[in-house]
């Protein structure tokens, strides 16, 4: 009786172990969002798809941006109001795949460390008007004139990231990364011809601006759930 009982226990325990391993194995696809995009009034969401062994992944993110006009005269106080969308493609190599771990409270999770590369591109517009005031010192009269400007921005870039990916409560995927690259942009400007182009002031120097050109640091977090 002992031998048949032992065999029966083996058949029962093997599926249970497989279920535990499956619970710890990342799904083939994740739906992800990047909370830091909200800081620049944008929404960035996408999917990450793994290979069968969970050692490589491909991601596609889409970004939509629509800045709200807060009443400030654009191009005078450097308040730019961007509208448009962008896309990002990522490739990741998980150095040792995903490894099961346990917390101090004996809770199971999986984690992985990766290195990856990305390419980005987007198209945006930035438009508005500001009012210039001129005083006639002889008469004391002030003349106000409104000037209109609209920029069409095309940007593209590439770079790399190094990151850490792990699960929380077996359902939430947390991803922290750091890296960098470069971004180039092309600006097509339509402006009031009564004023020279250099008269208009725009704040395209910040890395959060679609019109930024130069070295682009890349860091942040993403949150994901299984699809």
For residue range 144-182, what is the model confidence (pLDDT) as tens digits? 777 777 889 999 999 999 999 999 988 899 999 999 999
Q: Which residues, 6 or more positions from 113, have their beta carbon under 8 angstroms from its beta carbon?
A: 94, 95, 96, 162, 163, 164, 165
The DSSP bridge partners found for residue 129 are 148
20 band by pLDDT with thresholds 50, 70 and 90: very low
Q: What is the largest CA-CA distance in the chain?
A: 115
Mean of the per-residue pLDDT values for the chain? 82
Cα–Cα distance measured from residue 186 to residue 184, given in angstroms and rounded to the nearest whole number: 7
User: Which backbone phi and psi does 89 adopt, to 5 degrees?
Assistant: -115, 135
Q: How far apart are the first and last CA of the chain?
A: 46
Does residue 134 register a pLDDT over 70? yes
Does residue 200 register a pLDDT over 70? no
- pLDDT of 137: 82
The DSSP bridge partners found for residue 31 are 47, 225
Q: Are 134 and 142 in contact (CB under 8 A)?
A: yes
139 band by pLDDT with thresholds 50, 70 and 90: confident
Beta-sheet pairing, 29-33 with 214-226: antiparallel
Helix, strand and coil content of the chain, in percent to the nearest 5, comes to: 15, 60, 30
Q: How many CA atoms lie within 13 A of 186 on its CB side?
A: 5
DSSP code, position 95: B
Neighbours of 199 (CB within 10 A): 13
Q: Are 168 and 174 in contact (CB under 8 A)?
A: yes
Interval 30-84: pLDDT, tens = 999 999 999 888 999 999 999 999 999 999 999 999 876 654 444 544 456 788 9
The DSSP bridge partners found for residue 56 are 93
Cα–Cα distance measured from residue 212 to residue 14, given in angstroms and rounded to the nearest whole number: 56
- Taking alpha carbons only, the member of 10, 82, 46, 19 closest to residue 173 is 46
Pick the more confident residue, 201 or 216: 216
Exposure pattern of 142-181 as b/e (b: 16+ CB <10 Å)?
A: eeeeebebebebbbebebebebebbbeeeeebebebebeb
Q: Are 179 and 212 in contact (CB under 8 A)?
A: no
């Amino acid at each position: 009786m002992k031998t048949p009982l032992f065999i029966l226990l083996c058949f029962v325990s093997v599926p249970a172990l497989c279920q535990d391993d499956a619970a710890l194995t990342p799904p083939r696809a994740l739906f992800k969002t990047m909370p830091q995009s909200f800081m620049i009034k944008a929404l960035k969401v996408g999917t990450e798809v793994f290979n069968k062994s969970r050692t490589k992944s491909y991601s596609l993110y889409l970004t939509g941006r629509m800045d709200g006009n807060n009443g400030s005269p654009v191009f005078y106080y450097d308040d730019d109001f961007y509208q448009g969308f962008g896309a990002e493609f990522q490739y990741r190599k998980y150095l040792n795949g995903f490894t099961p771990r346990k917390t101090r409270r004996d809770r199971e999770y999986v984690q992985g460390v990766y290195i990856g590369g990305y390419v980005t591109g987007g198209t945006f517009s930035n438009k508005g008007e500001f009012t210039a005031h001129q005083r006639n010192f002889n008469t004391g009269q002030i003349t106000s004139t409104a000037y209109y400007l609209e920029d069409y921005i095309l940007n593209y870039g590439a770079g790399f990231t190094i990151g850490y990916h792990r699960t929380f409560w077996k359902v939430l995927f947390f991803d922290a990364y750091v890296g960098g690259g470069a971004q180039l942009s092309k600006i097509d400007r339509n402006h009031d011809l009564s004023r020279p182009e250099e008269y208009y002031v725009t704040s395209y120097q910040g890395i959060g601006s679609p019109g930024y050109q130069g070295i682009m640091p890349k860091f942040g977090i993403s949150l994901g759930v299984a699809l």
